Amino acid sequence: MVFERVAIVGLGLLGGSLGLALGEHCPEIATSGFDADPDTRARAAERKLVGTVASTLDEAVADADLVVLCVPVGAMGAVARELSGKLKPGAVVSDVGSCKASVQRALSQALPEQIVIPAHPVAGTEQSGPDAGFAALFQQRWCILTPPEGAPEEQLSALTQLWERLGAHVETMDAQHHDLVLAVTSHLPHLIAYTIVGTASDLEDVTQGEVIKYSAGGFRDFTRIAASDPTMWRDVFLNNKDAVLEMLQVFSEDLTRLQRAIRRDDGEALFDLFSRTRAIRRSIIEQGQDDARPDFGRKDH
Amino acid sequence: MVFERVAIVGLGLLGGSLGLALGEHCPEIATSGFDADPDTRARAAERKLVGTVASTLDEAVADADLVVLCVPVGAMGAVARELSGKLKPGAVVSDVGSCKASVQRALSQALPEQIVIPAHPVAGTEQSGPDAGFAALFQQRWCILTPPEGAPEEQLSALTQLWERLGAHVETMDAQHHDLVLAVTSHLPHLIAYTIVGTASDLEDVTQGEVIKYSAGGFRDFTRIAASDPTMWRDVFLNNKDAVLEMLQVFSEDLTRLQRAIRRDDGEALFDLFSRTRAIRRSIIEQGQDDARPDFGRKDH
């Protein structure tokens, strides 16, 4: 089985990139798309993010045999309920959300008749909106599928092949485990980046102008992550609350340990940690998830 | 007054970049350099980081009218003591260290006869060693000078002009204030990055392999900073202890507030912070301290 018609709901960074990647790698697949925001729909049509930008949700999904929800995770349930009774029998419903347990629950409850296979391509930039997407976003990135118990093998392998054609490596895991892993590799880093940027902008003895001027010392890298879409990230933290709080707890304990090492002038403890962390960086580069060159190997799109 | 002979002590990322930048922008200045590590000296000679790689410290600084120490801040005092009695009368001694109060004290105590004007170019990458340097490192970056009370105007303006010729903007401030500002814009970000990378590598329920595979979700940006030179950073935290601990305290309080917002499902508080932080990112890009393009505008060197 292969997908012939793919509908994308939500035409921001992820939805737009998915549409462009499908157009580039799977030209034989007919793509349609919808976004609740008329301006986004207009811009999506101008940029040709999908083959057809529909003016209503129903129209966008009517003939689709795969519907991919690319909206903030907090909006998945409401969109899924709107889709109820409007999809082709046997149509597969998937998504690109950063949390999987809550999304899987919301989609399965709202669309009990459909085949639901949640997905999370671990890729993105700090940009958002219909101008942010580009076809190469998923190249060499991992896409995690969290099929519910008893998800049909045929549709699961069709979705796997589709993501692989877009340049992604596909991994399958349990939704709860996904949420724990991403709490570490994505959610906690964003939470910390948002916090430190907030901290730096509220100081009494250091002006915001100074923070901006001297940001090249390391701070600017945090501001990049902290420029990500506020709605998307609010929803991530509310929908992956337990795992995020658990990881935050471990992080806080480690930070306290390091604080103590500084207070006690324990240079050895600092040096040991600072040396250990280099090895992880090396592995990330070896496995193609980042680039050692000053430009990170990221080119303009 | 202009500098005719510049000696660079320590030929890693900063020292090497300084030598290359001088060669490119100030070809009439004779540059010499020394590094305690013979392999680094050999590589520095191959890469022509400076005009003459001397085999001894004395030889490197003998005729210099400006000596720039590019060693970890914890080593500044020892190197300065070695230089005692070996510099030309009237030679200016400067550095590129990330902390200024402790360095200013160490240099002034060890070299009471010399004119000491500490400096800190706020620029760098996660790379280190004699292969890491490149001439463009200081372009559009700020270089902060912290002249002690009564530093001679002539030498101060000569050093200012020199850094401006290398492409940097120069700012002058009190050493204590520098240390407070950089604690926010550089030291705290590095401390937090080192901590979270350590946290992620020690988890029970998430393997290190998973952390590496799915690092593109945000984590990888922290690993870049956490790959910085361990010796340099150990020294920074030990030499700017008070300011770092003060900032860490404020950060921890802010993190606790955010933790509470998540626990209480306070989406509004999360959204407010996540929206505020975007403005700072915009200013940093407007002021040329980072780049919005996916490649950050950083090209290969």
Identify the CA nearest to A290 among candidates B137, B108, B19, B221.
Answer: B221
**CA-based nearest residue to A123, from B281, B291, B294:** B294
Select from B127, B181, B263 the Cβ nearest to the Cβ of A206: B181
Same domain, yes or no: B129 and B14: yes
Q: How far apart are CA B200 and CA B195, in angstroms?
A: 9
Q: A224 CB near a chain B CB, below 8 Å?
A: yes
Q: Does the beta-carbon distance from A205 to B275 stay under 8 Å?
A: no
Cβ–Cβ under 8 Å, residues A49 and A16:
yes
Among B198, B224, B277, select the one facing A281 at the smallest CB separation: B224
Put simply, whether B298 touches A (Cβ < 8 Å) is yes
Q: Would residue A301 count as lying in a domain?
A: no
For residue A289, what is the nearest residue in chain B, using CA coordinates? B216
Contact status of A278 with chain B (Cβ, < 8 Å):
yes
Query: Which residues from chain B sit within 8 angstroms of residue A251, using beta carbons?
Result: 195-196, 199
What CATH code is carried by the domain that includes residue B20? 3.40.50.720
At B149, list the tokens: 């009370």
Q: Is A214 found in the same domain as A68? A: no
Torsion sign, CA atoms B215, B221, B225, B228: positive
Distance from the Cα of A174 to chain B's closest Cα (Å) equals 13
Give just the sign of the alpha carbon dihedral B180, B185, B186, B190: positive
Q: Residue A293's pLDDT is what? A: 63
Beta-carbon contacts below 8 Å between A and B: 338
- On chain A, the residues whose CB falls within 8 A of the CB of B217 are 98, 122, 124, 182, 185-187, 189
| Chain A CB within 8 Å of residue B149 CB | no
Q: Is B281 in Cβ contact with A126 (below 8 Å)?
A: yes
With an 8 Å Cβ cutoff, is B262 touching chain A? yes
DSSP of chain A: ---SEEEEE--SHHHHHHHHHHHHH-TTSEEEEE-SSHHHHHHHHHTT-SSEE-SSHHHHHTT-SEEEE-S-GGGHHHHHHHHTT-SPTT-EEEE--S--HHHHHHHHHH-TTSEE--EEE----S--STTT--GGGGTT-EEEE-PPTT--HHHHHHHHHHHHHTT-EEEE--HHHHHHHHIIIIIHHHHHHHHHHHHHHT-SSS-HHHHHHTGGGTHHHHHHHTTS-HHHHHHHHHHSHHHHHHHHHHHHHHHHHHHHHHHTT-HHHHHHHHHHHHHHHHHHHHTTSS--STTTT----
Question: End of a domain among B173, B192, B220?
Answer: B173
In a domain, B162, yes or no: yes
Q: What is the structure's pLDDT at B92?
A: 98
- Does residue B140 sit in the same domain as residue B182? no
Residue that terminates a domain, selected from A129, A149, A173: A173
Out of B144, B205, B296, the one facing A180 most closely (by C-beta) is B205
Is B276–A201 a contact, with Cβ atoms under 8 angstroms apart?
A: yes
- A242–B contact, CB cutoff 8 A: no
What residues contact A278, with CB distance under 8 A and at least 6 apart? B226, B227, B230
pLDDT digits (tens, 9 = 90+) for B47-98: 999 999 999 999 999 999 999 999 999 999 999 999 999 999 999 999 999 9
Q: What DSSP line would sit under chain B, residue for residue?
A: ---SEEEEE--SHHHHHHHHHHHHH-TTSEEEEE-SSHHHHHHHHHHT-SSEE-SSHHHHHTT-SEEEE-S-GGGHHHHHHHHTT-SPTT-EEEE--S--HHHHHHHHHH-TTSEE--EEE----S--STTT--GGGGTT-EEEE-PPTT--HHHHHHHHHHHHHTT-EEEE--HHHHHHHHIIIIIHHHHHHHHHHHHHHT-SSS-HHHHHHTGGGTHHHHHHHTTS-HHHHHHHHHHSHHHHHHHHHHHHHHHHHHHHHHHTT-HHHHHHHHHHHHHHHHHHHHTTSS--STTTTPPP-
Split into its structural domains, chain A has a count of 2
CA dihedral A112, A114, A118, A123 (to 10 degrees): -140
Decide if A292 touches B, using CB distance below 8 A. Answer: yes
Q: What is the CATH number of the domain that holds A203?
A: 1.10.3660.10
Query: What's the confidence (pLDDT) of residue B219?
Result: 92
Asked if residue A269 is part of any domain, the answer here is no
- A213 falls within a domain: yes
Is the CB of A214 less than 8 angstroms away from the CB of B190?
Answer: no
Contact indicator for B296, A219 with CB cutoff of 8 Å: no
Contact residues, chain A, for B125 at CB < 8 Å: 294
Q: Which residue ranges in chain B fall short of pLDDT 70?
A: 293-301
pLDDT score recorded for residue A114: 96
- B196 in a structural domain: yes
Domain extent at residue A237: 177-264
d(CA A38, CA B189): 40
In a shared domain, residues A164 and A120: yes
Flag whether A277 is in a domain.
Answer: no
Residue B270 resides in a domain:
no
CB atoms within 10 A of CB A92: 26
* Same domain, yes or no: B22 and B157: yes
A92 shares its domain with A142: yes
Boundary of a domain, candidates B155, B173, B191: B173
Which chain B residues have a beta carbon less than 8 Å from that of A300? 293-295
B105 and B153, same domain (yes or no)? yes
Measured in angstroms, the CA of B11 and the nearest CA of chain A are apart by: 19
Do A104 and A86 reside in the same domain of the chain? yes
Question: What is the model's pTM?
Answer: 0.90
Residues A161 and A196 both lie in one domain: no
**B123 and B184 both lie in a single domain:** no
Contacts of B226 in chain A (CB under 8 A): 274, 277-278, 280-281
Splitting chain A (301 residues) into consecutive groups of 10 residues, what average pLDDT does each group show? 96 98 98 98 98 98 97 98 96 98 97 97 93 96 96 97 98 97 96 95 92 91 90 96 96 96 97 91 86 50 31
Residue A291 forms part of a structural domain: no
CB contact under 8 A, A245 and B227: no
| Chain A, nearest residue to B193 by Cα | A189
Are B39 and B149 found together in one domain?
yes
Nearest CA in chain B to A293: B300
User: Are residues A31 and A12 part of one domain?
Assistant: yes
